[in-house]
Chains A and B, each alone.
Chain A
């Protein structure tokens, strides 16, 4: 019988390791393509972040029903995520938008502090999406939580200096975002580095498009980033964060109009779990999840993929 040729890649590069929160959670470190034990001795599981909102206004009922009422208090909600086994919490501060309540920055900061203290987990902080509104919030949050390295999400090419400054001033982590483009992701990492952000304070978000919403683009962009990083492109060796919650915006995932599509609770869960599986198999080091079922499935699958079950 002919021997199978050795197909393991021996890469010269590796993904950076970034310590999160109190330093007890680390993202990145891979030395080979995801989950291939024959070339990647680092068997770190991608970290899974459970998503929590500061208001339920606009949050899908389908997802809300999965949290037993505990979603009504963001701290309880975060604790539930911890019980499920999440490694991190992603706090979305959207009520800071005046049209959604206009919560003052100090209140948002206090909330994040409470969640951080209660869960002791690393926290991803994301804003309402309007940088002018978000910056004061990020500033307040960054100053309120000093005992845990937060992940501030996210800075893009057009407006990254403000958020980067907040991160630098308080030794937090800034997420550089680029829209489905390897070169842009690299450019973003360069811009942040040039601005003075330390590599151990950076994550990259290449935009994880959900299943059926352009997942293919993301999947390939992420594979390319990972390959280039392993081949030695240091400016792409920043650990990757993929937000998979976009799955819940897909009509096919959540629609309850056509009964032949099956129970939307299960369908949405699968939708997100598959999106996340594609994310981790193409190189995600951190994934943000909305549904507890999907997160739980993903945790199991990741553990199994890295040979820990």
Chain B
């Protein structure tokens, strides 16, 4: 990726502010961090624009399906830089389903949705399969689906006519047509172009992918998602690694596209999805996914796509653990996610319901936050005030043992007795049992 200065050199340097930034330099910085695109600048010279676009394009092309970006990746390992666009998960629905059955299916897919620590984990897309083999049915079911499903849609068919009919029917939704291969490629490109939507290539392997994407490029079509034809975990891992390395290290364009996997259902499908989520997959299409598979898989995706350079934080909020009541203990800690997870897990182990107040310390752990002045009695009291926890329970207020020092002050501010907790989170269950007399 070019540096901000390299971008800056090519900008008009007029500080016209029309891009929304106060200076061209600030805009250049955004460009180099891929937080802006060059078309926001109305004054850039066209040749410079081309150079910039070329240079600033991520090695893995960003392809929009529905309202979701796929690809756009810039690195091989997440410790180098945050992975950009999380893997999308799609579940199939057949175009042979009755309206009721389709509704039921869509409802099921939508039900794979979990609210976790202020983040929503959910299935992203529905993949409509052209099981009917009929273009008209496919198109009308696509329209029907679009009426009851607001997110991304994949249209799976090998028939260019069906693809074009369905894609055109829901044109505004920018579906992914999935099913182009060596035999139908030209017609499929035509269909995708006609509907203005991206195309998923079913490749035999990575070599075949190069042949197909070069044909697409020759036809001036680049909104592609590649299925590298992996039939097992090893091929998934190795082929996707080859493609990503070639794209990132060698800027090898024919493989610089988002990757997808078409998996079936059951254990093996999930395992493939796990490998693909870890290693460079942008879209996984399932025939089925159970809730007990979806939650861990979605959690994995969330983990892998976090920013490695920022401590993950949880929201300042009151987290009831195990249905606490008006006498349950009140505990609090910082919003560094590892601290939160650990404390939460240890409270859960005790099986004693607790009100856990998380205090925003900008992601710092207890001692670091305390010494940085970000975990002070005033701040804690404010958080209590905001959540109203003190009026929810008259139970003991427990302060982390490491910051015993501020117990006096906190006691003074909140006017409640403060009990000193443990230094080590591991000892929480024992301490809670003794505090509650259980």
Contacts and interface: CB of A to CB of B under 8 A. Distances in A.
B271 interface: yes
B430 to A, nearest CB: 8
Interface string A273-309: 1100110010000000000000001000100111101
Nearest to B242: A7
Contact of B306 (A216, A260, A271, A277): A216
A277 B275 contact: yes
A260 B291 CA distance: 7
B202 to A, nearest CB: 17
A281 B345 contact: no
A111 to B, nearest CB: 24
A242 to B, nearest CB: 14
A250 B210 contact: no
Contact of B252 (A4, A306, A307): A4
B291 A304 contact: no
Contacts of B111: 260
Contacts of B297: 270, 274
Given A214-B341, A266-B290, A274-B297, A4 B206 contact: yes
Interface stretch (B138-146, B156-164, B229-237): B229-237
Contact of B295 (A37, A227, A261, A273): A261
A289 B406 CA distance: 41
B252 A5 contact: yes
Nearest to B342: A213
Nearest to B304: A216
Interface string B316-357: 000000000000000000000110011011001100000000
A253 interface: yes
Size class of A's contact patch? 35 or more
B131 to A, nearest CB: 27
Contacts of B344: 251
A36 interface: yes
A252 interface: yes
Interface stretch (B5-13, B170-178, B243-251, B370-378): B243-251
A8 B246 CA distance: 10
A27 B256 CA distance: 36
A249 B349 contact: yes
User: For the complex, would chain A's binding face be called helix, strand, loop or mixed by DSSP majority?
Assistant: helix
A33 B344 CA distance: 35
A251 B79 contact: no
B150 interface: no
Interface in B298-315: 299-300, 302-304, 306, 308, 312
Contact of A253 (B207, B296, B341): B296
Given A213-B341, A213-B345, A262 B292 contact: yes
Contact of B246 (A7, A37, A250, A281): A7
Contacts of A264: 292
B267 A219 contact: no
A213 B340 CA distance: 9
Contacts of B341: 212-214
Interface string A207-224: 001011111110110011
Contacts of A213: 338, 341-342, 345
A158 B206 CA distance: 50
B161 to A, nearest CB: 28
A160 interface: no
Contacts of A5: 246, 249-250, 252
Contact of B78 (A2, A7, A219, A261): A219
A4 B295 contact: no
A173 B116 CA distance: 40
Contacts of A73: none
Contacts of A217: 308, 338
A261 B308 CA distance: 28
A253 B344 CA distance: 14
A7 B254 contact: no
Contacts of B432: none
A271 B233 CA distance: 18
Contacts of B238: 35-38
Interface in B241-286: 241-242, 245-246, 249-250, 252, 254-255, 267, 270-271, 274-275, 278-279
Contact of B79 (A224, A250, A261, A274): A224
A274 B238 CA distance: 19
B50 interface: no
Interface string B73-95: 00001110000000000000000
B308 A216 contact: yes
A205 B184 CA distance: 52
Contacts of A33: 241
A281 B236 CA distance: 12
A129 B426 CA distance: 11
Contact of B233 (A36, A211, A224, A304): A304
Given A1-B207, A266-B290, A297-B271, A220 B300 contact: no
Interface string A24-55: 00000000010111100000000000000000
B214 interface: yes
A220 B80 CA distance: 9
Contacts of B114: 261
Nearest to B272: A301
A193 to B, nearest CB: 25
Nearest to A263: B292
Interface in A212-251: 212-217, 219-220, 223-224, 227, 249-251
B275 A281 contact: yes
A82 interface: no
B293 interface: yes
A187 B421 CA distance: 32
Contact of A223 (B79, B207, B237, B426): B79
A267 interface: yes
Contacts of A35: 234, 237-238
Closest 7 CB pairs of A and B: A262-B292, A262-B291, A7-B245, A267-B292, A220-B79, A5-B250, A216-B303
13 contacts: A2-B252, A4-B210, A36-B238, A37-B238, A213-B338, A219-B78, A252-B295, A266-B290, A266-B292, A267-B296, A274-B274, A277-B274, A278-B274
Given A4-B255, A249-B345, A274-B296, 7 more contacts: A2-B210, A2-B214, A223-B77, A249-B349, A263-B292, A270-B296, A307-B234
